[in-house]
Chains A and B, each alone.
Chain A
Amino acid sequence: MKPAPFEYHAPSSASHALELLARHGADARILAGGQSLVPLLNFRLSAPAVIVDLNRTADLAYIKEEGGSLRIGAMTRQRAIEFSALVRSRLPLLAEATRWVGHLPTRTRGTIGGSLAHSDPAAEYPAVVAALDGEIAIRNSGGERVVRAADFFVGFMSTALRPGEMLTEVRLTPPPPDSGWAFEEFSRRRGDFAIVGIAAVVAMERNRCRMARLAVCGAAPCAMRLRGAEEILEAGRIEERSVHNAATRAAELVDPPSDLHASSDYRRHLTRVLTRRALNRALARACRPEAVDA
């Protein structure tokens, strides 16, 4: 099918886009990379009166380091993130997860801001931003507010964004240098949305885990931290048993839906298996020989 008619605007800056959003209110939809919205338009599952296309904005695509954190503009393409030397060295978890986001031709257009604002329950980026405890900058024509990832994803395909607001920037603080990280995912075909995905970050001090962060996608209405499993890791010495217990706990913390892709039980099983795999890889990366307790 083809999209229903809409009024089209392609502003050249973020502030011009915000004026248009203020003028059109709830009638307007923001078009970022279009890899989720355009299929919805083609099927007429979405038929907005006004499209505000951000692809001509000059000031929303960048990756820069500022005050110890990486700031990534909302219109930064997934492909740019995939090949960014700065992301690879400072946020390797984000680089690793990007390989799981669609395919190279969809990453050419797809953006980090679009993925976060769309908040598909199975999308990889929301889980990564949750695991990195990221901050999301949101603007409207009146000003800016900053929301933590944990407060941004609020339910099934819904976020803290309000009409007239636009996600403009993601701020991610790289984990400390003694950390390990891993992204694990299972999907039936490469490039499909995850059936379940797990993002893990662990910071080690000798054989103790100083900080553990685990986030899941595909097993909850939106990306979700698995705090109960993190606490098991932070409670004592790290050994096979604690990884096993954390993975078991992770599976208890989710209440996944059944659909044609996978049953609820299978998703819970995957949550346990992928948490264990992600933790084992993250711990191996954190425990380089010189960091292991002598």
Chain B
Amino acid sequence: MPEPQRIRLTVNGQPHEGSAEPRRLLVDFLREDLALTGTHVGCEHGICGACTILFNGEAVRSCLMLAVQADGAELMTVEGLARGGELHILQLAFREHHALQCGFCTPGMLMAAYDFLRVNPRPTEDEVREALSAVLCRCTGYQGIVRAVMAAARRMSAADE
């Protein structure tokens, strides 16, 4: 059995340290070793997007990465969105526009939308729909999610001006 390897990384601005066998998936390391259970595990093969996090500032599927690959990396998970007890604009928009039903896909939706709005701060609705196709909502509550991301985009770009 291969030896566990030491992993040092930053998650949501906090330094963390742990060790894992090379085969340990990053999402399992986050949830089980670092107790950051906001990131969800769905399909474990990169289709559902529930495990989406930011890896060095860009969205990735954390079920398709090994924990050892995150040694030295800066991660952001859904727990890092709210600052000082204040929900992020995206989270507020999700609440206002009923963009969650069971909530299982929500961490992935939020992190995928967060990355997408940085790449494309003023998207059309079609572009939002294309971006959200990266994450599956099995409640099929997509309409509210699209409205929430559109509303958050308007509010975030207004806040920038």
A3-B23, A105-B115 given as contacts; is B134 within 8 A of A34 (CB)? no
27 contacts between A and B (CB under 8 A): A2-B28, A3-B25, A4-B23, A5-B22, A5-B23, A6-B23, A8-B5, A34-B66, A35-B61, A35-B64, A38-B25, A38-B63, A38-B65, A103-B112, A103-B131, A103-B133, A104-B116, A104-B119, A104-B131, A104-B134, A105-B49, A105-B115, A106-B64, A109-B61, A109-B65, A190-B129, A191-B134
Classify the interface of chain A: helix, strand, loop or mixed.
loop
B124 to chain A minimum Cβ distance, whole angstroms, is 14
Q: Which residue of A lies closest to B59 (CB)?
A: A105
Interface residues, chain B, with chain A CB atoms under 8 Å away: 1-2, 5, 21-25, 28, 44-46, 49, 52, 55, 58-61, 63-66, 68-69, 112, 115-116, 119, 129-131, 133-134
Which residue on chain B has the smallest CB distance to residue A55? B69
Supposing A38-B46, A42-B45, A105-B60 touch, asked if A190 and B2 sit within 8 A by C-beta, the answer is no
Question: Closest approach, in angstroms, between the C-beta of B130 and any C-beta of chain A?
Answer: 5
CB distance from A35 to the nearest CB of B (A): 6
Q: Which partner residue on chain B sits nearest A7 by CB separation?
A: B2
**How far apart are the CA atoms of A8 and B65 in the complex, in Å?**
13
- Closest chain B residue to A189, Cβ basis: B133
Question: Does A158 interact with chain B (Cβ within 8 Å)?
Answer: no
A43 interface contact, C-beta 8 A: yes
Q: Are A105 and B52 in contact (CB-based, < 8 A)?
A: yes
Other A-B contacts than A104-B116, A104-B131, A191-B133, 9 sampled, CB-CB below 8 A, are A2-B25, A5-B1, A5-B23, A38-B46, A103-B112, A104-B115, A104-B134, A108-B60, A190-B130
Does A53 lie at the interface of the complex (its beta carbon under 8 Å from any beta carbon of B)?
A: yes
Task: Kindly provide the distance from the CB of A170 to the nearest chain B CB, expressed in whole angstroms.
Answer: 22
Chain A nearest CB: distance from B48 CB in Å? 11
Nearest residue, chain B, Cβ from A190 = B133
Q: List the count of A-B residue pairs having beta carbons below 8 Å apart.
A: 95
In Å, the complex CA distance between A191 and B49 comes to 12
Chain A residues within 8 Å of B25, by CB: 2-3, 38, 42
* A104–B23 alpha-carbon span in the complex (Å): 25
- Bound Cα distance A3, B49 (Å): 19
B2–A6 touching, CB < 8 Å: yes
A34 CB contacts on chain B under 8 angstroms: 64-66
* Bound Cα distance A7, B1 (Å): 8
Q: Which A-B residue pairs are the 3 nearest by beta carbons?
A: A8-B22, A103-B134, A39-B45
- Known A-B contacts A104-B59, A105-B52, A191-B134; the reply to A53 vs B23 at CB < 8 A is no
- In the bound assembly, the distance between CA atoms of A103 and B47 in angstroms comes to 10
Cβ-neighbour of A5 out of B21, B44, B69, B131 (below 8 A) = B21
Q: Identify A105's interface contact among B2, B24, B112, CB under 8 A.
A: B112
Interface: A10 (CB within 8 A):
yes
Contacts of B55 in A (CB 8 A): 108-109
Closest to A53 in B: B69
**Residue A90 at the B interface, CB < 8 A?**
no
Do A8 and B1 have beta carbons less than 8 Å apart?
A: no
CA distance A109 to B49 in the complex (A): 14
In the complex the two chains form, what is the Cα distance from A96 to B29 in whole Å?
36
Give chain A nearest CB distance to B26 CB in angstroms.
Answer: 10
A71 CB within 8 Å of chain B? no
Q: Is A260 part of the contact surface with B, judged by Cβ < 8 Å?
A: no
